[in-house]
Amino acid sequence: MMMAESLKGKSLFVTGGNAGIGLATARLFAAQGADIAIFARRSEQNAQAQIELEALGIRCLVFTGDVTNEAQLADALARTADTLGGLHYAFNNAGADQRAVLTTELAEADYTTQMDVNVKGTFFGMKHQIPLILASGGGAICNNASAAGLVGTPYQALYAAAKFAVVGLTKSTALEYAKTGVRVNAVCPGATTGDMFLRYQAAFPEAAAMAAAMHPMNRIGDKEEVAQAVLYLCRDATFTTGHALAIDGGLSVG
């Protein structure tokens, strides 16, 4: 049986990495020896995450910024590569949730938020990550899409549209770089213990209960289960690119 490769000497850049699925992924990569760079909006949470991750014996950089600001994101990526000796993996995880309302009740502001954070932020990330990963000898990018990017989801029309777009970005970019040593995949979680679903649950308990009940495995996922999938796609799935991996308890099957 093939032994799992240590990530010592490798680096991971994760957006939205100070909580939820992003932090769970950073913890898992750090436990495997990778150095971590976190790019997220809340400076206090960034500092807390840095302390936690450095306690695992790795280097951790934190950058406070917004994924919709291309200059901020590009600068953080360049500084990460300079400080950590290159960039090997990236997890474009930052995202925005949507109000649980009918399509006809959504506003232009809802549209802008969904497309800017979920789509533009992922695009900006890949645009500046790929050259750095190429310069480091190759690696992998994982984008956080959603089960809502695979199947229609009631009361989540714009969120679903944005996540379908993330899957499209992933597949198209994967084909562009398939021969270069940069693999690009996506995870597509259902409802999980990540911060986004927990916020949604608090704001829209009935809609959240309906969403959770749609999972055939009769539970929501753990954020750590998504982190394991990100690690698999980045480190272990060496002949896989352009794949949107459902981690949704069977939600997208039927």
Distance CA 143, CA 123 (A): 10
β-sheet with 60-64: strand ranges across: 60-64, 35-40, 11-15, 89-92, 139-144, 182-189, 244-247
The residues that are catalytic are 159
- Which has the closest alpha carbon to 192: 18, 21, 17, 19? 21
Cβ contact 213:250 at 8 Å: no
